[in-house]
């Protein structure tokens, strides 16, 4: 079933179609929510709220963009609003703060599996916009035009975030490859 048919069925009252839409896009929503929301307990609730919003606004969706882009926009805005509400720092763009991170509690040996954990750890320490751009571009494979639409930013800014985030992660990764490292949990 394509997205148009899926949406039409949902609007006609088909609950199975709604369940199908949730199944189809929960990965995208959860990836975005996980990258933006640090508190694990809040994540599922926020993801559910995103889908409730998607349902409520579905009648206004006119397929001018892809359904995935539209859902991602809702997920992004809802997560950012949540962060604003809980008054966490979320728009700081000070990547340089990361280099002075304190000594860790948790120990990692960087085999392949731990490298992924190590990178995930540092991604979570990046400012929100950097995290989001990395996630949408690398994990979801979205085009710049889609990321621009989701984050409501010009292409130059999106690219700048992406290049700077990758550069920073590479710097953070470089001195510890193949070594034991300690991370602040």
Partner 1 sequence: MDKQKEIEQQMQHDQAEAGSLQSYQQLFDLLEQPPTYSLSENFATGIIKQVDAREKKTYRWFWFWMVSGIVLILTVTLFTCIYLFGVEQIMVYADLTTWAVVAGSLVVAIQYLDYFLIRRHSTFSM
Six token digits for residue 89: 């720092």
Q: Which is nearer to partner 1, 103 or 136 (CB)?
A: 136
Q: Which is nearer to partner 1, 109 or 116 (CB)?
A: 116
Residue 55 as a binder of partner 1 (CB under 8 A): the answer is yes
Rounded CA-CA distance 164/113 in Å is 24
Tell me, by CB under 8 A, how many residues bind partner 1: 42
Q: Which stretch binds partner 1 (CB under 8 A): 76-84, 85-93, 96-104, 166-174?
A: 166-174
Q: For partner 1, what does the binding mask look like between residues 128 and 157, x meaning CB under 8 A?
A: ------x--xxx-x----------------
Return the sign of the alpha-carbon dihedral for residues 99, 88, 39, 144. Answer: negative
Rounded CA-CA distance 129/133 in Å is 6
- Cα distances from 102 to residues 47, 123, 184, in angstroms, run 31, 16, 7
Q: Which stretch binds partner 1 (CB under 8 A): 40-48, 68-76, 87-95, 96-104?
A: 40-48
- What's the min distance (Å) between Cβ of 90 and partner 1? 17
Select the residue interacting with partner 1 from 106, 120, 180, 184 (CB under 8 A): 120
User: Given phi > 0 = left and psi -120 to 50 = alpha, else beta, which region is 177?
Assistant: beta
Using alpha carbons, select from 104, 119, 124 the residue that is nearest to residue 177: 119
- Cα distances from 178 to residues 108, 109, 114, 173, 174, in angstroms, run 10, 7, 10, 10, 10
Select the residue interacting with partner 1 from 1, 104, 109, 116 (CB under 8 A): 116
Residue 177 as a binder of partner 1 (CB under 8 A): the answer is yes
The answer to whether 28 and 75 have CB atoms below 8 angstroms apart is yes
Interface residues with partner 1 (CB under 8 A)? 10-13, 15, 18-19, 22-23, 26-27, 30-31, 34-35, 40, 43-44, 47-48, 51-52, 55-56, 58, 115-116, 119-120, 134, 137-139, 141, 163, 166-167, 169-170, 173-174, 177
């Amino acid at each position: 079933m394509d997205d148009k048919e899926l949406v039409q069925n949902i609007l006609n009252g088909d609950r199975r179609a709604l369940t199908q839409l949730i199944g189809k896009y929960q990965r995208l929503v959860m990836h975005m929510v996980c990258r933006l929301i640090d508190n694990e307990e809040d994540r599922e609730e926020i993801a559910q709220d995103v889908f409730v919003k998607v349902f409520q606004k579905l009648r206004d969706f006119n397929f001018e963009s892809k359904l995935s882009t539209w859902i991602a926009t809702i997920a992004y805005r809802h997560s950012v609003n949540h962060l604003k509400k809980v008054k966490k720092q979320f728009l700081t763009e000070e990547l340089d703060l990361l280099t002075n991170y304190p000594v860790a509690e948790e120990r990692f040996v960087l085999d392949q599996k731990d490298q992924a954990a190590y990178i995930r750890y540092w991604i979570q320490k990046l400012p929100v916009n950097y995290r989001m751009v990395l996630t949408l571009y690398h994990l979801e494979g979205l085009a710049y035009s889609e990321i621009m639409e989701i984050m409501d930013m010009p292409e130059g800014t999106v690219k700048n975030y992406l290049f700077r985030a990758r550069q920073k992660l590479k710097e953070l990764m470089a001195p510890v490859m193949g070594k034991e490292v300690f991370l602040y949990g």
